[in-house]
Structure formats: C-alpha cells, structure tokens
Amino acid sequence: MPQLNIGLCFLIALLLLSGCSQTLTRQTCVTLAPEVSYCLAPINQQVLGSDRQTISAMQKASINTQASQHELLTQLELNQQQLTLVGLAPLGQALFTLNYDGHNLISEQSQLLGEQFKAEYLLAIMQLIYWPDNSVNQYLQGATITRYQCDTALCRGVFFAKSNPNYQADNQQALITIRYSDLTPWQAEVELNIPAANFQLNISPL
C-alpha cells in the first residue's frame, strides 16, 4: 500500500503546558494518500440528525503510533452554524480551540504547538468519523468512504476510488478503517486506524 501523506501530528498530546496562543486561518483541504484529498464538508442537519439542533460531546482521545502513545481530552460543540473543538492536555491545560463555520477554519492554539499542529487534518479526521457517508463522499477526491461488514456494531472504511491510479480491483485494502461500538457514532467507542502510517486513534465518550 502506498505510504500515506499524513499531517495529523497528534504530538500535541506531548504538551502538558499551555503557552501564549496564536490565531491562524487554516486551509480546508488536506491530502490523505497518493491521489486522495479531502476538503472539509459543510455543516448540515444530516450531521446533527433529524431530532437535534446541537451536539455537545466531551471525549477522551488516545493516540498510538509505532513509537509512542498519548492522551488528550476534547470538548466538541456543534450546531447548524458552527463546529467548535477544544483540545485539553490530560491535566486540563488548553492546547487549541478550532472554529469551523462550514467555510472557514480558525485555529487558536498554543504557540508551543508550532507548525507541527495542523488543525485541518484533525478536523478532517473528525468529519470522516462523524459525518455521514454521502456528505463525506461529496468532498473526497480519489477515494470513497463506505460501510462494510465486521465483528462490531458498525465499520466504515476509506478505499481508493476506481478512478484513482492506485486502485487495484483484486486488492482493495482500506486506507483508513473506522470501527464503532454503537450504531450511533456520537455514542460509540471509536477506533480509527491508518495502517500505512502505523497510526491508531481511539475516542471514548465521557
């Protein structure tokens, strides 16, 4: 499988102290793999569900790479106009606040994070996890996200599209796999894997 171009940089969990913050306007399109890109999808009622106007979620995120393991806390607030995601170190210090209005992404982040922290990748991963397939696929180029059968409540994967030069009909391994313990993603324990990057993200509702 081709090596993924991952700019996720969840090394933020290494930082246990907050510093002076800076406000940055981030790009909204990211490269996920060779010939695969994703532009952040807008916010719509389908994301919230038919019976909700807002979603508020406190979560614990565990990040595992080949060399290390880290944890952080996130507070997510979502309504029809805006998504706000706050990241906290395990001891409660604020690391970043992301605001996305469906068009623009603003990141207020500790200067200690430097250029390693790419807010657009973090938000792209969150959308892959929580946005419906049809919403994601409209903004996913060179790949598709789809459900597949597995041994847990729900599984989704990102696969090369047939139009992608890297597509192999006889070897369709997922670029990204997402496993959910519940059919409702916001209520589920989530495990996201990017095999080519030896990257695993586990999210637990609090």
Integer Cα distance of 94 and 199 in angstroms: 24
Average pLDDT over residues 99-117: 79
Specify the range with the lowest mean pLDDT, choosing from 24-28, 119-123, 183-187, 188-192: 24-28
pLDDT of residue 6: 43
Domain boundaries, given as residue ranges, for the chain: 10-205
Per-residue pLDDT band at 11 (split at 50, 70, 90): very low
Q: Please state the rounded mean pLDDT for residues 121-148.
A: 94
Phi, psi of 120 (to 5 degrees): -65, -35
Instruction: Tell me the pLDDT band of 115, cut-offs 50, 70 and 90.
Output: low
User: According to the model, what pLDDT value does residue 113 have?
Assistant: 62
Of 71-85, 101-115, 128-142, the range with the lowest mean pLDDT is 101-115
Say whether pLDDT at 36 is over 60: yes
Q: What is the pLDDT of residue 34?
A: 86
What pLDDT is stored for residue 197 in this prediction? 85
Is the pLDDT at 18 greater than 60? The verdict is: no
Of 192, 142, 129, the C-alpha closest to 30 is 142
Class of domain 10-205: mainly beta
Higher-pLDDT residue of 25 and 63 is 63
pLDDT of residue 200: 94
Can you spell out the DSSP letters for 56-99?
Answer: EEEEEEEEE-SS-EEEEEEEEEEESS-EEEEEE-TTS-EEEEEE
When comparing pLDDT for 179 and 112, which is higher?
A: 179
